[in-house]
């Protein structure tokens, strides 16, 4: 009787825990990427953004004072994502090489980025590339982020994507930003 009571109590206890309360250790490379992406919103005084934007065939060039709201808007998907919660050994494969680390989503998985590539120089991340793809009966979309860092600070980034809604022409966009002194 005591065993049944203890087993039911443990079952009830664990069923009440949310997924956030269950501690699962994340990959150290992914945790480092999360920390770096969170730091993108730090102000950099005396810097300027050189921004090129292309939407389909229209192109615009801008020179802006450094503004974190521009970066937050362009990189919203990356900044708001928690890669350490998404990328686990159960749903991603990890390949380590001299150039860095590549995480690829397994075929059975449907959520999260398709791939995440992290390039390191000793202990710092030099660059990362994150690719998203989504497809259903109504649309197809793809989005690629390429970020370059110098001494732990954002140096440049590129956001490229395309969308195809059913019955409409496909559209594409490209955002390239360099941070200059």
Predicted confidence band of residue 20 (pLDDT cuts 50, 70, 90): very low
Predicted confidence band of residue 3 (pLDDT cuts 50, 70, 90): low
- pLDDT per residue as tens digits for the range 138-162: 889 999 999 998 888 888 999 999 9
Output the CA–CA distances (angstroms, integers) from residue 154 to 43, 74, 109, 120, 139, in the order listed: 11, 13, 30, 14, 32
**Element (DSSP H or E) covering residue 164:** strand 153-165
Pairs from 174-177 (Cβ < 8 Å, separation ≥ 24)? 174/52, 174/53, 174/54, 175/51, 175/52, 175/53, 175/54, 175/74, 176/51, 176/52, 176/53, 177/49, 177/50, 177/51, 177/52, 177/70, 177/71, 177/74
Is a pLDDT exceeding 50 seen at residue 28? Answer: yes
- pLDDT per residue as tens digits for the range 71-100: 888 999 998 888 888 888 888 999 998 888
CB 48 within 8 A of CB 62: no
Confidence (pLDDT) at 159: 94
Predicted confidence band of residue 23 (pLDDT cuts 50, 70, 90): very low
Closest alpha carbon to 168 in 145, 133, 141: 141
d(CA 141, CA 125): 28
% pLDDT > 90, the chain = 30
pTM above 0.75, yes or no: yes
Q: Which residue has the higher pLDDT, 27 or 3?
A: 27
**φ, ψ for residue 75 (rounded to 5)?**
-110, 25
Confidence (pLDDT) at 146: 96
Closest alpha carbon to 175 in 61, 37, 41: 61
Distance between start and end Cα atoms, the chain: 73
Angle at 75 between CA 177 and CA 162, to 5 degrees: 85
């Amino acid at each position: 009787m005591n065993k049944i009571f203890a087993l039911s109590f443990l079952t009830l206890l664990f069923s009440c825990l949310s997924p956030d309360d269950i501690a699962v250790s994340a990959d150290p490379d992914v945790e480092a990427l999360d920390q770096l992406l969170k730091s993108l919103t730090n102000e950099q005084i005396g810097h300027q953004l050189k921004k090129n934007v292309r939407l389909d065939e229209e192109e615009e060039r801008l020179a802006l004072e450094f503004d974190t709201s521009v970066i937050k808007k362009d990189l919203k998907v990356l900044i708001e994502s928690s890669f350490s919660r998404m990328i686990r050994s159960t749903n991603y494969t990890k390949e380590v090489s001299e150039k860095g680390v590549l995480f690829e989503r397994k075929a059975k998985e449907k959520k999260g980025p398709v791939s995440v590539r992290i390039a390191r120089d000793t202990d710092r991340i030099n660059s990362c590339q994150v690719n998203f793809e989504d497809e259903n009966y109504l649309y197809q979309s793809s989005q690629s982020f390429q970020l370059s860092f110098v001494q732990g600070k954002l140096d440049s980034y590129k956001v490229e994507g395309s969308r195809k809604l059913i019955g409409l022409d496909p559209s594409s966009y490209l955002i390239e930003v360099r941070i200059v002194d």
